[in-house]
Structure 1
């Protein structure tokens, strides 16, 4: 999945890291918006582990950041560590999407998301509320 923000990548990365830290525990967990853990934070990428409590899945997420002429380009990828979770009810997509919406990055005026069923399995049935 790809996203474009009309702001610098340092701002996007800081907002995502802040949201991940806020949702790092299961305290007051609602709708799987918890149990995120930063496993690696590098200059142009952040790796995250997300335990999906409703399905007992563990997803590995990576966000890669690249500043472009029209803002920050972010490529996101998520995969379930559980081998039986191919049809995961779109938890991989939702794990990334809820970080974007939770941090209000989707409210950035030039925000764009590019994805499809071919990129994110079960994207067409995603219910990330």
Structure 2
């Protein structure tokens, strides 16, 4: 017997013939790295602030127009605006310390109610901050996501988005 959520994913897959994943343009990513979450969080917040203005858009990419919304000891909320069409996406990073490991859950979701496909933009919103902050260079770094939890993840081109 199919669950309602499984049926929704199957319906989306059969409607387009190729798409299978979230029914709204979004992305869930989990990362893990050795170190203190407070240090990782600071790196990500600093990167959001560094990419706040439009200057990072000049080369055609989207490493720009990020805005910090809120910050607590375990969570960072931000937005990202696409430079051409001015679509907005909501981003959340949630941090949990597990011994010497920092576990980070990232979520990006399009504010546009009708968005289904996004060319991997929601993944790139998160990925660009992680790599810009050099979290990917920290010891023990791992990234976990898939097309089923991240719209068009496998075809994302983060040099463009």
TM-score range, shorter chain: over 0.9
Shift of residue 85, structure 1, vs aligned partner: 2.0
Paired residue secondary structure (1:48): strand
1:77 aligns with 2:75: no
Output one character per residue of 1:53-112: Cα deviation in whole Å (capped at 9) or x when no partner. 144310000000000124100000110001232101111000000000111110112100
Inter-partner Cα distance in structure 2 for 1:110 and 1:27: 32
5+ residue gaps, structure 2, are 1-28
CA pair 119-70 structure 1, distance change in 2 beyond 3 A = farther
Contact 2:56 2:62 in 1 (8 A): no
Normalized against structure 2, the TM-score is what?
0.77
5+ residue gaps, structure 1, are none
Contact 1:32 1:54 in 2 (8 A): no
1:14 aligns with 2:42: yes
Partner of 1:41: 71
Greater helix proportion: 2
**Counterparts of 1:27-66 in structure 2 under 5 Å?**
27-29=55-57, 30=59, 31-66=61-96
Normalized against structure 1, the TM-score is what?
0.95
Contact 2:95 2:103 in 1 (8 A): yes
**Which one of the candidate residues 2, 18, 32 is aligned to 1:4?**
32
Please, what is the CA RMSD of the aligned residues? 1.1
Greater strand proportion: 1
Q: Which of structures 1 and 2 has the bigger CA Rg?
A: 2
Inter-partner Cα distance in structure 2 for 1:96 and 1:28: 16
